[in-house]
């Protein structure tokens, strides 16, 4: 008997906490992916990234409200459309933000940090003014409710499975896109050597704009996925932003693998710790562990040795 | 593990690899006190990397660097500097918003700790030394000018001056005359020959005219390995060197 | 006398600035404003301490910290713990199930005072802790990070995480720290009632004097070689290493000084406002402190103090009148200060003195004061490598 639970109980707890940890992992991973793309590729720290996530969530909520008001019969089908819409809305808005603000801030990480914090304040207040200060939830389609009963003591919620599946698809998609497509190649080339890329005929400004809006679009999808596991309020974004950045920094920022492992570790750590310690203390412990590890190994888990 | 007590700088079996690529491969190099050694070679030969390793900026994967019989590998940059090694970088690296005087003063080897810095007093000894060095590098009239306003050549001299303030026994100069006019090159050659008296100097250069003016001995690197070594005459006539670097 | 004038008072500009500030703070404000507002200004000045620290840390040394709230909180909580213990003497708390301990501990069924709290019964210890604890934490964090050459954005994010950890840690431990509500109902310090108007005025003047003293101290610090060192470090850290300096120790030093200043600000805050809570020490307040500094003009000590006063005053006025508008304004300020006026108030003042005023008054004598123009003209791009 440990902590007053039997071994088999512990196992069930472990599996279920791991699973809820996986949902958190999905959100963190999606956020971190977007951030890595933006920071790792463009040297821009986007503290408003959380607000793009919230924007995706609010888009789904809006879709839900419209569907409920005008054609409730479409409820089972609207959700997937809403996710796509969330991506589009967020990437378009990202495009606007890049054009008006971000493009002046390349390679100025500290400045972009401050400016995007300002942006996040403005966005948060906009959400508050438009949607109200209370948290909202979209009406989820029936097929997302309920749980799989894997064994008698282990139940896996369907929405969690959905979120994970979505994350998997998206991560694979991004990896494929970055490493096996023409545009992805252009993006990576621009990051490596902007001047050369420009000389080779790549329109670096356009690539930057595209990169940023892609990052924001991914955040939008993260937000849409997030609506299945939690409610959305004006400051939902800021709740995850520090964690997401820690995931990015912890993962080493150079390889996708690093980000994935890092997000997994941090999410699972938090989830399991939160079961055994009261609410926030679990999170505190994990964050502390991450920060201490970062102090010992500042480049993160997977940084490679490059010649300066 | 032999200890070469006669050489001021002895490098043995030095190797560094970046993700599999060997920038410097089993290099052996010995420099005497009072010697002016020039290192030449095509781009990518590993010259700058060699200097990086000596001054502690890059860590070698193998080999040893002994300076006055002290092992330098593994020491931090500032510890190596305090041991008596000074380096001048390829692009002039001075403190642009400090005056020439302040640039030199900051390089004075006193008051380097936090407490020492707080308690620092500009003594007459320091002032004298600054004036002396400024004279040496032909910047005596510009002592109150901010570094940003110096010409390219003057910035290079200022950097050499800052090195001299540290009173090093080994000075490393990475392309000291890049971007200088002919007259400035002559003056720099004279300056370097003057300061060579009690120290050993390592120079990386591409300007063969300049090299022949100052070198006691020349080392040629190619693809991280030692290609040839000898006086300027010997090197000039070495067929391997001509093939790889000097051209016909 | 020379040392006093040139180094501590900061020469002509410094002495003038100190005089103006002294007049504004010690005479102007108390005469012009009612006691409520004087107390508010006193509160703002506590934030000015952290702003001063950041002006040194960020403005002069080029190290951005997004977690100064941590040190503000450490100082504040140390002071609050002392005051709370004093207010929780057995007589006033006799209705509690366990008299003699703070009320929130009682609510959480604690039966005796936790060991951590016991030393704070003594005022000397508490005062010592206000200064020592932030220094210790800053030293450890600085040592861990600066020795490993962590700087720029990484450092900023980690300091932010530390502030978050601190505020969450306090939040989640209601029994030990008062939790989300913080430590409230503070009454007296060594028998002296800090809530009376009389006391508030005294605390206000004490804060002002300490602030002016801090400015003088910082000016002295930077007037000699240290100032040049920091300037060189901000510009060319590598080069400094090759000149034989252990740069990390200087960064640690500056970080600790900024931490102490923030801690003192926190303690004075608690004295003037009468409570502290985790919402005052987390990421949001920490980043707000940065905006005071950015608005004031990063490297100027006077600028950041005025910046802190202005932004806080604006916040109080605006959020009363137009609560929705305030966040928009602040967001706009952040963006504006990065894009449009990176040199803040100090830069504006500089422009006025050097360009506008001589243009308007061509007869005015040319004051050839050696302004650290390079510092003000320093736009954000320097030293930003992640």
Residue B49 distance to chain A (closest CA, Å): 10
> Which of these, C253, C320, C261, lies nearest to C293 by C-alpha position?
C261
CA angle C296, A100, A182 (to 5 degrees): 130
Check A306 against B19: CB less than 8 A apart. yes
CB-based contact, B170 to chain C, within 8 Å: no
Give the model confidence (pLDDT) of C94-126 as tens digits: 787 777 788 888 888 888 888 888 888 888 999
Residues in chain C within 8 Å Cβ distance of A128: 324, 327
Concatenated DSSP letters of C314-331: HHHHHHHH-HHHHHHHHH
Residue B104 distance to chain C (closest CA, Å): 10
In the block, residue with structure tokens 């500290």: A110
Cα–Cα distance, C354 to C366 (Å, whole number) = 9
Residues in chain A within 8 Å Cβ distance of B23: 307
Check B114 against C224: CB less than 8 A apart. no
Check B81 against C241: CB less than 8 A apart. yes
Residues B60, B27 contacting (CB under 8 angstroms):
no
Cα–Cα distance, B47 to C65 (Å, whole number) = 39
> Which of these, A235, A119, A51, A50, lies nearest to C331 by C-alpha position?
A119
- Please report which confidence band the pLDDT of residue C129 belongs to, taking 50, 70 and 90 as the band edges: very high
CB-based contact, A307 to chain B, within 8 Å: yes
3-state DSSP helix/strand/coil % of chain A, to nearest 5: 75, 5, 20
Residues in chain C within 8 Å Cβ distance of A129: 324
CB atoms within 10 A of CB B59: 11
Neighbours of chain C (3+ CB pairs under 8 A): A, B
DSSP state of A46: -
Residues C299, C373 contacting (CB under 8 angstroms):
no
CB-based contact, A298 to chain C, within 8 Å: yes
Largest CA distance in chain B: 60
Residue B95 distance to chain A (closest CA, Å): 21
Of C5-9, C264-268, C270-274, the poorest mean pLDDT is in C5-9
3-state secondary structure of A154: coil
Cα–Cα distance, A276 to A285 (Å, whole number) = 11
Give the model confidence (pLDDT) of B74-123 as tens digits: 888 888 888 889 888 877 788 888 899 988 988 888 878 888 888 887 88
Of A22-26, A125-129, C249-253, C290-294, the poorest mean pLDDT is in A22-26
Using alpha carbons, list the distances in angstroms from residue A280 to A173, A246, A248, A262, C166. Answer: 34, 17, 21, 20, 11
CB-based contact, B83 to chain C, within 8 Å: no
Using alpha carbons, list the distances in angstroms from residue C291 to A237, B228, C11, C188, C302. Answer: 21, 60, 28, 33, 15
Q: Which of C137, C157, C385 to mutate to test the interface with A (most CBs of A within 10 A)?
A: C157
Cα–Cα distance, B180 to B189 (Å, whole number) = 12
Complex-level ipTM? 0.80
Residues A216, A94 contacting (CB under 8 angstroms):
yes
Q: Is the pLDDT of residue A285 over 90?
A: no
- Please report which confidence band the pLDDT of residue C229 belongs to, taking 50, 70 and 90 as the band edges: confident
Using alpha carbons, list the distances in angstroms from residue A70 to A75, A140, A227, B45, C181. Answer: 11, 16, 21, 73, 44
Cα–Cα distance, B32 to C115 (Å, whole number) = 65
Cα–Cα distance, B169 to B192 (Å, whole number) = 14
Q: Which of B16, B19, B20 to mutate to test the interface with A (most CBs of A within 10 A)?
A: B19
- What are the per-10-residue average pLDDT scores of chain B (248 residues)? 68 86 87 87 84 88 89 88 86 85 87 81 86 87 88 88 88 87 88 84 87 86 86 85 74
Residues B27, B11 contacting (CB under 8 angstroms):
yes
CB-based contact, B78 to chain C, within 8 Å: yes
Whether the model clears a pTM of 0.95, i.e. scores above it, the answer is no
Cα–Cα distance, C148 to A295 (Å, whole number) = 8
- Please report which confidence band the pLDDT of residue C10 belongs to, taking 50, 70 and 90 as the band edges: low
Cα–Cα distance, A241 to A45 (Å, whole number) = 11
Q: What is the pLDDT of residue C132?
A: 95
Supply φ then ψ for residue B47, to 5 degrees: -65, -55
Residues A301, A262 contacting (CB under 8 angstroms):
yes
Check A290 against C161: CB less than 8 A apart. yes
Check B95 against C242: CB less than 8 A apart. no
Q: What is the pLDDT of residue B236?
A: 83
Contacts of A283 (CB under 8 A, 6+ apart): A270, A273, A274, C168
Check A121 against C331: CB less than 8 A apart. yes
B–C interface: beta-carbon pairs under 8 A:
76
In the block, residue with structure tokens 């002039």: B92
CB atoms within 10 A of CB B53: 25
List the single residue in A with minimal CA-CA distance to C145.
A295
CB atoms within 10 A of CB B4: 13
Q: Which among A118, A281, A298 is the nearest to C150, CB-wise?
A: A298
Cα–Cα distance, A8 to A211 (Å, whole number) = 47
Of A55-64, A117-126, B33-42, the poorest mean pLDDT is in B33-42
What whole-number percentage of chain A has pLDDT above 90? 14
Check A280 against C153: CB less than 8 A apart. no
Q: What is the pLDDT of residue C147?
A: 86
CB atoms within 10 A of CB B173: 26
């Amino acid at each position: 008997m440990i902590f007053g639970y039997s071994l088999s109980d512990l196992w069930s707890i472990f599996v279920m906490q791991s699973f809820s940890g996986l949902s958190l992992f999905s959100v963190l991973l999606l956020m971190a992916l977007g951030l890595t793309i933006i920071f790792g590729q463009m040297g821009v720290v986007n503290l408003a990234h959380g607000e793009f996530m919230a924007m995706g969530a609010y888009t789904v909520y809006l879709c839900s409200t419209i569907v409920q008001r005008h054609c409730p019969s479409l409820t089972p089908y609207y959700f997937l459309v809403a996710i796509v819409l969330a991506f589009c809305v967020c990437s378009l808005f990202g495009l606007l933000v890049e054009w008006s603000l971000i493009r002046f801030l390349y390679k100025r990480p500290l400045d972009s940090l401050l400016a995007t914090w300002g942006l996040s304040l403005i966005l948060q207040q906009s959400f508050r003014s438009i949607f109200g200060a209370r948290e909202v939830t979209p009406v989820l389609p029936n097929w997302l409710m309920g749980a799989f009963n894997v064994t008698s003591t282990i139940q896996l919620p369907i929405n969690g499975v959905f979120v994970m599946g979505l994350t998997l698809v998206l991560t694979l998609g991004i990896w494929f896109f970055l490493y096996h497509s023409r545009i992805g190649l252009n993006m990576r080339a621009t990051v490596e050597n902007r001047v050369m890329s420009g000389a080779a005929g790549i329109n670096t400004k356009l690539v930057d704009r595209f990169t940023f809006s892609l990052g924001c679009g991914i955040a939008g999808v993260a937000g849409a996925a997030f609506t299945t596991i939690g409610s959305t309020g004006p400051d939902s974004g800021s709740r995850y932003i520090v964690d997401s950045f820690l995931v990015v920094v912890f993962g080493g920022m150079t390889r996708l693998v690093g980000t994935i492992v890092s997000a997994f570790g941090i999410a699972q750590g938090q989830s399991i710790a939160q079961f055994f310690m009261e609410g926030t203390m679990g999170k505190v412990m994990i964050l502390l562990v991450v920060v201490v590890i970062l102090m010992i190994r500042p480049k993160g888990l997977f940084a490679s040795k490059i010649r300066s | 593990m032999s200890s070469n007590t006669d050489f001021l700088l002895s490098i043995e079996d030095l190797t560094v690899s970046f993700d599999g690529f060997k920038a410097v491969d089993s290099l052996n190099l010995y420099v005497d006190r009072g010697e002016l050694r020039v290192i030449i070679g095509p781009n990518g030969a590993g010259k700058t990397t060699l200097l990086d390793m000596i001054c502690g900026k890059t860590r070698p994967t193998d080999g040893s660097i002994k300076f006055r019989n002290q092992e330098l590998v593994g020491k931090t940059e500032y510890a190596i500097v305090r041991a008596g090694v000074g380096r001048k970088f390829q692009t002039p690296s001075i403190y642009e918003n400090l005056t020439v005087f302040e640039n030199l003063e900051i390089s004075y080897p006193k008051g380097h700790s936090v407490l020492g810095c707080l308690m620092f007093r500009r003594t007459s000894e320091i002032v004298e030394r600054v004036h002396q060095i400024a004279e040496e590098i032909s910047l005596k009239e510009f002592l109150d000018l901010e570094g940003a306003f110096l010409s390219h050549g003057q910035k290079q001299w200022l950097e050499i001056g800052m090195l001299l303030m540290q009173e090093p026994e080994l000075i490393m100069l990475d392309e000291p005359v890049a971007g200088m006019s002919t007259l400035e090159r002559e003056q720099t050659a004279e300056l370097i020959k003057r300061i060579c008296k009690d120290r050993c100097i390592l120079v990386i250069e591409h300007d063969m005219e300049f090299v022949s003016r100052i070198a006691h001995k020349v080392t040629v690197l190619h693809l991280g390995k030692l290609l040839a070594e000898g006086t300027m005459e010997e090197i000039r006539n070495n067929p391997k060197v001509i093939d790889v670097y000097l051209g016909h | 006398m020379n040392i006093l004038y040139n180094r501590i008072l900061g020469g002509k500009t410094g002495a003038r600035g100190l005089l103006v500030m002294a007049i504004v703070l010690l005479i102007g404000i108390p005469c012009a404003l009612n006691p409520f507002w004087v107390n508010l200004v006193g509160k703002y000045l506590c934030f000015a301490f952290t702003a001063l620290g950041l002006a040194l840390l960020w403005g002069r040394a080029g190290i951005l910290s997004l977690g100064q709230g941590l040190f503000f909180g450490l100082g504040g909580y140390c002071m609050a713990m002392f005051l709370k213990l004093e207010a929780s003497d057995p007589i006033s708390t006799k209705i509690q199930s366990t008299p003699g301990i703070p009320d929130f501990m009682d609510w959480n069924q604690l039966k005796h005072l936790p060991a951590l709290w016991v030393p704070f019964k003594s005022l000397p210890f508490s005062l010592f802790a206000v200064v020592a604890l932030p220094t210790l934490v800053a030293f450890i964090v600085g040592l861990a990070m600066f020795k490993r050459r962590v700087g720029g954005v990484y450092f900023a994010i980690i300091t932010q995480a530390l502030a978050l950890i601190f505020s969450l840690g306090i939040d989640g431990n209601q029994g030990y720290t008062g939790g989300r509500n913080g430590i409230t109902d503070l009454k007296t310090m060594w028998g002296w009632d800090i809530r009376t108007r009389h006391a508030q005025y005294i605390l206000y003047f004490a804060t002002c004097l300490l602030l002016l003293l801090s400015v003088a101290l910082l000016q002295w610090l930077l007037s000699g070689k240290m100032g040049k060192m920091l300037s060189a470090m901000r510009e060319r850290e590598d080069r400094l290493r090759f000149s034989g300096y252990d740069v990390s120790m200087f960064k640690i030093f500056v970080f600790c000084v900024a931490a102490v200043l923030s801690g003192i600000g926190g303690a004075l805050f608690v004295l003037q406002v009468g409570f502290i809570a985790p919402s005052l020490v987390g990421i949001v307040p920490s980043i707000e402190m940065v905006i005071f500094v950015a608005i004031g003009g990063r490297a100027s000590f006077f600028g950041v103090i005025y910046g802190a006063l202005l932004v806080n005053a604006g916040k109080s006025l605006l959020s009363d009148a137009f609560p929705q508008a305030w966040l928009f304004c602040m967001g706009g300020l952040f963006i504006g200060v990065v894009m449009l006026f990176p040199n803040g108030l100090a830069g504006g003042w500089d422009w006025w003195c050097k360009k506008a005023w001589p243009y308007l008054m061509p007869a005015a004598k040319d004051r050839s004061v050696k302004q650290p123009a390079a510092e003000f003209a320093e736009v954000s791009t320097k030293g930003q490598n992640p």
